[in-house]
Every structure is written in structure tokens, then in C-alpha cells.
Structure 1
Amino acid sequence: MHGLTFASWASRIPTIQENLRLSASELGGVLFGLPVGFFISLPFAGWLIAKLQSKRVVVAASVSYGISLVGIGMMSSAFGLFVSLFAFGFFANLLNISINTQAVAVESLYKKKIMASFHGLWSLAGFAGAALGTWMINHSVSPLYHFGIICITFVIVNTACAFHLVSKDDAGGEKRPIFAMPDRTLLGLGFIAFCSMMVEGAMFDWSGLYFMQVIQVDPGLTGFGYATFMVAMAGMRFAADSFSNKVGLKKILQVSGARATTGLLVAVVFPQMMPSLAGFFLIGMGVSSVVPMVYSAAGRSRSVSSGTALTAVSSMGFVGLLIGPPIIGFIAEASDLRISFLTLSLMSVAVVILASRLPAPSNLDR
């Protein structure tokens, strides 16, 4: 439902821009409310989860997240939309961290890796949300009614699932501090998330332009690169858990970084349609497993509580997601997009190097 809700909002951005008569620069300023809300929630997320347990935070954040989506559809001014997006980002991140904490607890009960499959479901929900948004637009359904349907569905699903959530986050009963300086392992995981999500963010925003400006495909084909990337990312997440259970965290992170690096180099060296699609497929495979695997390892940290560890690592990752696209833009302005993507490959190389410096597998794959 998190992925469905977020994709539902994203699919209606053009409609909302048209309804409020916002210019491109005005829309850019308004959209900034979402990451601001995300960042403001970070100090609260780990503390709330440690104090209340993730189950309660999931239930409360789910309802608030759905209601904030309806608020977006109700706004008739740029300022109101900014405030609604602030709330949307705030509760989206509370739900993101708390539900990942739940996933860590479920993994502990299963005694094997299943985190990537959860993230794969998020990706599928994102596809569903985008498809539903397209259907709503084609049938002239207003954003308010669209978002209202999503909110009601969210509340129903939330109510049905609340009784089945894990009550205690730390199944082992080990007492861990709420606040502490991140240890070397958490910092390493955070930097890996930063590098991988920087690549991911750049692909989200620049893949279409890469196919338009570098590959120079017909306008109707510019979305093929992004679609190929997303299909590879979603599909690989369902295979990542089995792979990780066999080879361990360090190996899967190293392989993932190598795949993303290879994909970026293929797209840069062979700027034609088919080689670039193959490259984007490899990039999607490469970034697919990194975040769920890193979140899973962070949630098992012995130095701080699960919620606090996930907050720290996801915060570093989100910084990479935010700064990746503008950095690519600055480099492209100074040179071109091929040089930008070549520079981006250094982030994937960094994933391989940082993964090799993580502690022994026995400390990460327990």
C-alpha cells in the first residue's frame, strides 16, 4: 500500500499542476515540501519506534499517510499543496522506517532473508499505482476522488493487517540503546546505501533524457530505458533473498555493484538502442538488492535499536537519492550526459569497495 499510495500521487502531478496553474519553477518549489517533510521526520522515526514499537507506528502512520494523500487532492493553492506534501513526506517516511523494522522482525522469525521480496512487492505496487493513475486520468477522475479511493482502501487493508503485525521488534529480547553513535558497520552500510541510491535517483530522473539526447530515439521510445530499468529492479528483488541466503551479504553487495558498474559502462560506451537497454537492465539488477540487503543488515545491529539503525542508514541513503539527480545535471551542463553516467559508475565501484570492507560474514548474516 505504501508503494501504491506514492505512485498514485506521482501519477497525478501533471493534473495537479494544470489544476493549480503552476509554472515549472513554482511546481519545483512546491514539490520540495515532500523531502522537507521526509527529513523532518528522521529525528522522530527511530525514537518513536523504540518507544512505541514499530507495530503501533505502522498503524498510526498508515492512516495518517492515507489521509495526507487526500489532503493533497483537496488543495487549491500552492502553499496548501506545499503543506500537504510536507505532511505526506513526513508520514511516508515514518511508515517506511517502521514497516522495514517490521520486516526485520519477520526475518528474525523466519530465520532467513526475505527483505528483498518485500521491496519487490513495493516495486510491483508502484507499477500498479502508475497504471491505476493512468486509468483515472483517461476516465477524467479528479485527483480528490482518486486519492479518496486509495485512502479508503489503505484504511481497510491497514485494519485487516494490524492484527497480524509483529508485536516486539527485537525478537531476541536483547536490550539495545535508543541513541548511540553509529558504529563502523552501520556507517559502512549507510555509505553503501548512499552510493547505490545516488545511482537509483539519477536513473529515475535522467534515464528518459539519456535515451532522448544521447541515444536519440523517437519520442515515443524515450521511456523504454526507464521501463527496462524498473522491470529488472523489481524482478531481481524476488530472486535476491534466495541468492543472499546462499552467498551472504558481502558477496551479493559486491556482485550488485559490479552489475551496476558494467551496465553504466555499456550504456556509455555503446550509445545505441539495444546495447543501452541491456546496460539499463544490468543497472536495474545491480541496484535492486542493495537497499533491502543493507536495511536487513542494519536492522540486526547490536549497537542500537532496529528503528534507530534503520533511520541512520536510510537517512544516508536518502541524501544520495536527493543529490544524485542534480549532480548529474551539473556534470551534464559542464560536459554531457555520457560523462555524467560515466561519473555515476564510480558510485557503483564504491559499493564494491565498501562491501569488501564490511565485517566478517558471520557478523552480518546471523
Structure 2
Amino acid sequence: MIFSMNKQRLSLSVFFFLAGFNFASWASRIPTIAGALQLNEAELGSILLTMPISSLIGLPISGWLVTRFDSRIPLTTAFMVNGVALSLIGLAFSSFYLVGALFLFSLTMRIFNIAINTQAIALQKKLNRKINGSFHGLWSLGGIVGVGLTTLLVSLRIPIIPHLLSVSILSLLATVVASRFLLRNDRATAGNKLTLGKPDPAILYLGLLVFFAALCEGGMFDWSGIYFQQVVKEDVFTAGYLIFMSFMALSRFVSDRIVEKIGMPKTYVLSSILIFTGVSLSILLPSFWPAMIGFSLVGFGTASVIPMTYTLAGASTKYSPGVTLSIIVTYGIIGMLIGPPLIGYLAHAFSLRLSFILFALAGVMLIPISKLFFKLKTQPVPGE
């Protein structure tokens, strides 16, 4: 039994790592794509709007799939198609083609994201200990490796096409191998139907926490490279993205212990303070080392929010984990829908430097919303 769960945890770890690796491979190449297609900030922001729109379309599909089948089926199928979509992004020769590739990439990413987190919550319950933070840490570690590889390839002037094609092939091969050991028979038998009516306050607050976390985290993914390229004036523009991802991964590997030590309510407050401080430092002192320190604080601050919130969502008594995740991830997609494009429009109207104030405000909002959630909950919550 223990050996079987260890294999399940290892195979699921592979998917979390590759999910971060693939996403970072795309996100860290955004400046390359923007330069090749000669896109300004507003045009890039409009194209990035494709991803959250596609994710929003994918939500009801993913929610239905994880209640209709074992979660490993939509996970592996979507992951393989996502790898193909990544190679199509590298081959994009026009804005129209890029929008189509990003639509498919984001749609499949949404499907496997719901499935992979459904698997993680189910395995966490079987093991009866907190492991969700470490899974998300592997996602961030995959992101570090992805952006680190991109940094090396950019410095060696390796084109984007062979880069993303190689990542796609690796993703497909790993899926074939790791999919055999995923958790089986995890389809929920109850709580799979949504009921119309007044929104559940607890789920609403969890959704808002994910909204602001996604606004900040997604915006940093898409714009940190551009910020270092245009504001900090660094030729190796991936440095900011790399330090952000590195500290996010570091925090996620220790976040489960931090939560056990100080509890979830205080961890939300700590995350908020770190995000605000880091963004403010980067705006006030937009030179290399202050920006690097600032981005590291933002990475450390954002890291715990989504894993904590997903864990709380998995404890819902109203809906199954898959359905609850689908609901609160909707808020996250809206955050991603608003954040990256809004940064592009604000940067075009004012400056990229001033537009990052949006991330600081998103970080601040974590405090009052988390306090409302824990005030509402009368039953014990994980990590308190």
C-alpha cells in the first residue's frame, strides 16, 4: 500500500514538474515572440488575453471530465495535447497563428490543471498529511529549470523553434511513462452537481483569494521578463523571472511546514506583506539588485497562497474536490483575464514601471479577504 502510494506520488510529481517546466518555457520566451512579431505592449496584452479566455472556456469542460472519468484520463490526454500546442507556439509566424496556438495551449492547461490538483488532494487525504505545497513547489522547480534553460539558450542565441520542439517531445515521452502509475478510481460519487442560488460565502472568499493571487502571479509570469528588459535594462531579461520562480519554489517546498508552524491565517498575512514590500522595492528602485531582491520577495509571498487555498477548497463539504476546484479556479482565471492584459494597457498609457502598482494592491487584498474567510469558518480548518 505504501509502495503504491509512493509510486503515485512520484508519477504525480513528474506531471507537476513538467507543467511548470512547459509553462516557463513559453512564458520566458514572450520577449522573443514579441520582438519577432514586432508587438507593442498593448498588442501583446491583447494577445495574452487569449489565454484566460481559453481557460474560462475550458473550465466547464474540465469540471465535467473529472466528475465523469478518473482524473488521470483528462490529465494525460490534455497534457499530451498541451505539449503539441507548445511546439505550435514556437512555430507561430503571425499574431493570428499565435492566438490559435495559445488558445489550444491554455485550454489543455486548464483541463490538466483541474485534474492534477484533484489527484493531489485525493492523494493527500490518503496519506493523511500535507503534501500539496510540495507538489506546487515541484511546479515552481520545473519553472526554474525551464527559465534557466531558456536563459542559457538565449545567451547562446539558440532559436525558439528547436527549443520549444524539444520541450514538447520531452513532455510527450514523460507522459507515456508516468501516466501508468497515477491514482486510479478517484471519481467522486457525490457533490458533483452545482446548485443555483446564493453563492456559498466560504467558496466566494476562497475564490477571491485565488483571484488576487492569480492576478499577481500570472502577471509576474507574463511581464517580469519585459520589466527587466525595458525598465531594469538587462540584456539577459530572464533574470527577473528566474529569481521570482526560484524563491517561489523555495517557499513552496517549505510552505507546508510554515503553515503547520504559524497556521494558515498568519501565512496569508505574511504573504501579503512580502508581495507588497517586494513590488514596492522594484518600483521605487528599478535597478538590478533592488529589483532582484524585490522579485524574490514577491515570489516568496505568492508561493503559499494558491496551495493553501486549494487545500481549503478540498475540505469543502458542499461539493466534491473537483467541482470546488473548478469553481474557485474560475476566479483565478478572471484574475489572469484582468491582470496581464491590464498591465499591458496601463504600461502603454503610463509606464510599465507604474503599472506594477497593480500587483502591490493585489497583495494587500489578501489580508482582509482571508480574515473574512476564517471569521466565517466555525469548524477547524487545515493548518490552524
Q: Tell me the TM-score normalised to structure 1 length.
A: 0.83
Match of 1:316 in 2: 331
- Residue 70 of structure 1 and its aligned partner are, at CA, apart by 3.5
1:43 aligns to 2:60 (yes or no): yes
Q: Deviations over 1:129-174 (max 9, x none)?
A: 233345556374661x54443333223322222222122436xx77
Q: Pick from 31, 56, 76 the counterpart of residue 59 of structure 1.
A: 76
Change (3 A) 1:49 1:363: farther
Match of 1:263 in 2: 278
Change (3 A) 1:205 1:149: closer
Match of 2:166 in 1: 149
Match of 1:244 in 2: 259
Q: Deviations over 1:161-215 (max 9, x none)?
A: 2222122436xx77213323552111101101111222223434554666677xx
Q: Pick from 234, 249, 257 the counterpart of residue 234 of structure 1.
A: 249
1:109 aligns to 2:126 (yes or no): yes
1:301 aligns to 2:322 (yes or no): no
1:160 aligns to 2:180 (yes or no): no
For 1:105, give the aligned amino acid: A
Residue 205 of structure 2 contacts residue 369 of structure 2 at CA under 8 Å; is this kept in 1? yes
For 2:74, give the aligned amino acid: V
- Residue 294 of structure 1 and its aligned partner are, at CA, apart by 1.0
1:118 aligns to 2:135 (yes or no): yes
Q: Distance in 1 between matches of 2:83 and 2:44?
A: 22
Residue 5 of structure 1 contacts residue 150 of structure 1 at CA under 8 Å; is this kept in 2? yes
Change (3 A) 1:159 1:293: same
Q: Distance in 2 between matches of 1:121 and 1:228?
A: 16
Q: Distance in 2 between matches of 1:71 and 1:209?
A: 22
Residue 113 of structure 1 contacts residue 244 of structure 1 at CA under 8 Å; is this kept in 2? no
Match of 2:194 in 1: 179
- Residue 30 of structure 1 and its aligned partner are, at CA, apart by 5.2
For 1:294, give the aligned amino acid: T
Deviates more, 1:86-95 or 1:153-162: 153-162
- Residue 65 of structure 1 and its aligned partner are, at CA, apart by 1.5
Change (3 A) 1:290 1:176: same
For 2:207, give the aligned amino acid: G
Q: Distance in 2 between matches of 1:65 and 1:313?
A: 22
Residues 3-14 of structure 1 aligned to structure 2 (within 5 Å): 3-12=20-29
Q: Distance in 2 between matches of 1:91 and 1:353?
A: 33
Change (3 A) 1:320 1:296: same
Residue 30 of structure 2 contacts residue 222 of structure 2 at CA under 8 Å; is this kept in 1? no
The gaps in structure 1 that reach 5 residues or longer are none
- Residue 24 of structure 1 and its aligned partner are, at CA, apart by 1.2
- Residue 249 of structure 1 and its aligned partner are, at CA, apart by 2.5
Q: Distance in 2 between matches of 1:261 and 1:127?
A: 23
- Residue 331 of structure 1 and its aligned partner are, at CA, apart by 5.3
- Residue 48 of structure 1 and its aligned partner are, at CA, apart by 1.0
Q: Pick from 89, 108, 112 the counterpart of residue 95 of structure 1.
A: 112
Deviates more, 1:268-277 or 1:81-90: 268-277
- Residue 36 of structure 1 and its aligned partner are, at CA, apart by 3.2
Q: Pick from 367, 377, 383 the counterpart of residue 352 of structure 1.
A: 367
Q: Deviations over 1:319-356 (max 9, x none)?
A: 22332244445556676666544554332222011111
- Residue 97 of structure 1 and its aligned partner are, at CA, apart by 1.3
Residue 169 of structure 1 contacts residue 306 of structure 1 at CA under 8 Å; is this kept in 2? no
- Tell me the percent identity: 36
- Residue 273 of structure 1 and its aligned partner are, at CA, apart by 5.5
Q: Distance in 1 between matches of 2:302 and 2:153?
A: 31
Deviates more, 1:245-254 or 1:69-78: 69-78
Residue 50 of structure 1 contacts residue 178 of structure 1 at CA under 8 Å; is this kept in 2? no
For 2:190, give the aligned amino acid: K
Q: Distance in 2 between matches of 1:14 and 1:203?
A: 13
How many residues are matched?
359
Change (3 A) 1:332 1:83: closer
Q: Distance in 2 between matches of 1:228 and 1:124?
A: 11
Three-state SS of the structure 1 residue aligned to 2:373 is coil
The gaps in structure 2 that reach 5 residues or longer are 1-17
Q: Distance in 1 between matches of 2:282 and 2:95?
A: 39
Change (3 A) 1:241 1:77: same
Deviates more, 1:35-44 or 1:177-186: 177-186
Q: Distance in 1 between matches of 2:239 and 2:91?
A: 33
Q: Distance in 2 between matches of 1:146 and 1:219?
A: 22
